[in-house]
């Protein structure tokens, strides 16, 4: 890793600085704390209140490791949005350098910067990887495993297995990604097969990282859903996948999750055509770097495994697919640029220009609309269903409204989780528990688009655009 940093191209350093600035900007307010983040933050509170070591996370399929990672940040920063998101920001910064190392092993030197742009400046990464939940760590663990595989040191098998085990323990839906990685490594052929016996420490490392969570999965099955029913609907998910892909891969649904506004039909499909053309162009690189075709092996294994495991379409489930497509598009663009008669100096600075362009685009379509409206409680399309943007609305006006106004409660679990987590550090927020909700003086709910025309008489803060605060009768 140190050798990489010493030899790193200037454009990669500039991409890193730009990424760190763009990704870290408005870290606590774009968006405001989400309900799921509040729930995971509440896990940290429970850890700090516990008298013994806790081995099970919020769910049997979500590990407790990330909660322990958050503990020192909560100690230092209190129960704040920054304490929850800062660890994830640092993980994503580390992911950048892990990806740079791995891509340098896989790709021609001129393709690495644009591949990094495709990953880290895609609308998918810039929007969804900000969230402080366990699934956001998937890209980190992918490149962490690949880092040890390509490092080829004596202890690499052990640490690669340990990274894979921790990744799967972090969230069970890392399994499709992990199976795809294993298939792509084995697809390298007899050269790898002959060395398999040397990789037995990988199994030791894997079970060292995953054993405890495996016990949780086998013994705590109440929250794992109906696996048989989900399996029976696999064919339906395959049928609906083409409806979803334009919304996911173009970034439309990821942006609409913030703003409530999807891309127009022409914009969405225009982006899809460009991505498709560039991914096809990436196949030209395979002639010079045959190992790149292994990423397509990963895709062929990953998608069926993912559709088998999930029970519905959700943005977080398709982040890895979207990142892969944008990465391959970046590689394809690099190959086209290589073939064009462009000045060498211009080629070197093109990745930075593309990154600046994508960042500016995100400011225009996401940052500005979000901060002017505070988000939306509308819905957006996920192909075969719609989802709500309400999880990401700006909560700061609500907090100013209810601070110091007595006990509050919300029947909406996402609102409740936010308020409960923040109340541990903010004495002005008094949140009634589920058992004592009858003691609450104020009730909080979302103001849905259908409610916008209704009279706001009797509300505590009628000026709130996305929340309703009413007194208990």
In this prediction the pTM is: 0.92
Relative to beta strand 407-409, strand 442-446 is parallel
Burial of 93 (0-12, 13-18, 19+ CB in 10 A): middle
Can you read off the two tokens belonging to residue 55?
Answer: 């081995």
Q: How confident is the model at residue 190 (pLDDT cuts 50, 70, 90)?
A: low
Task: With a cut of 60, say whether residue 232 has pLDDT above it.
Answer: yes
d(CA 263, CA 427): 41
Q: Outline where 54-137 has alpha helix (H).
A: 65-77, 81-106, 112-120, 123-128
Taking only the tens place, the pLDDT of each residue in 85-97 is 999 999 999 999 9
High-pLDDT (> 90) share of the chain, %:
58
Task: With a cut of 80, say whether residue 35 has pLDDT above it.
Answer: yes
Taking only the tens place, the pLDDT of each residue in 437-450 is 888 899 999 988 87
Give the pLDDT score at 290: 77
d(CA 244, CA 240): 7
Burial of 388 (0-12, 13-18, 19+ CB in 10 A): middle
């Amino acid at each position: 890793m140190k050798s990489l940093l010493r030899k790193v191209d200037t454009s990669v350093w500039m991409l890193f600085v730009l990424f760190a600035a763009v990704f870290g900007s408005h870290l606590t307010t774009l968006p405001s704390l989400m309900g799921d983040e509040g729930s995971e933050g509440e896990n940290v509170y429970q850890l700090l209140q516990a008298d013994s070591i806790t081995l099970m996370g919020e769910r049997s399929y979500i590990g407790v490791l990330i909660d322990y990672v958050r503990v020192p940040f909560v100690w230092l920063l209190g129960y704040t949005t920054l304490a929850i998101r800062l660890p994830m920001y640092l993980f994503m910064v580390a992911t950048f350098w892990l990806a740079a190392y791995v891509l340098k092993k896989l790709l021609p030197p001129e393709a690495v910067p644009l591949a990094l742009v495709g990953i880290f400046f895609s609308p998918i990464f810039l929007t969804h990887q900000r969230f402080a939940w366990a699934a956001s760590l998937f890209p980190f663990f992918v490149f962490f495993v690949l880092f040890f595989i390509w490092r080829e040191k004596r202890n690499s098998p052990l640490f690669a297995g340990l990274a894979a085990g921790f990744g799967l323990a972090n969230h069970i839906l890392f399994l499709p990604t992990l199976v795809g990685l294993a298939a792509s490594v084995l697809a390298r052929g007899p050269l790898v097969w002959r060395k398999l016996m040397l990789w037995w420490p990988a199994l030791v490392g894997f079970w060292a990282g995953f054993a405890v969570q495996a016990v949780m999965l086998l013994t705590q099955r109440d929250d794992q859903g109906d696996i048989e029913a989900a399996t029976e609907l696999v064919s339906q998910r395959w049928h609906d996948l083409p409806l979803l892909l334009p919304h996911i891969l173009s970034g439309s649904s990821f942006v609409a999750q913030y703003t409530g506004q999807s891309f127009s039909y022409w914009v969405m499909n225009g982006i899809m055509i460009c991505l498709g053309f560039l991914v096809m162009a990436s196949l030209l690189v395979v002639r010079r770097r045959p190992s790149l075709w292994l990423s397509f092996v990963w895709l062929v294994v990953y998608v069926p495994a993912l559709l088998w495991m999930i029970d519905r379409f959700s943005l977080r489930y398709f982040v890895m697919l979207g990142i892969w497509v944008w990465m391959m598009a970046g590689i394809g663009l690099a190959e086209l640029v290589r073939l064009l008669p462009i000045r060498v100096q211009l080629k070197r600075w093109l990745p930075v220009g593309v990154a600046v362009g994508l960042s500016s685009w995100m400011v225009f379509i996401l940052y500005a609309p979000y901060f002017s409206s505070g988000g939306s409680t509308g819905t957006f399309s996920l192909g075969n269903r719609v989802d709500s943007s309400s999880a990401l609305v700006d909560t700061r006006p609500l907090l100013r409204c209810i601070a110091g106004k007595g006990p509050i409660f919300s029947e909406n679990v996402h609102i409740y989780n936010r308020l409960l987590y923040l109340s541990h550090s903010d004495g002005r927020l008094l949140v009634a528990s589920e058992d004592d909700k009858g003691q609450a003086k104020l009730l909080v709910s979302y103001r849905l688009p259908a409610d916008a025309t209704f009279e706001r008489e009797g509300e505590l803060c009628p000026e709130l655009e996305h929340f309703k605060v009413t007194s208990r009768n």
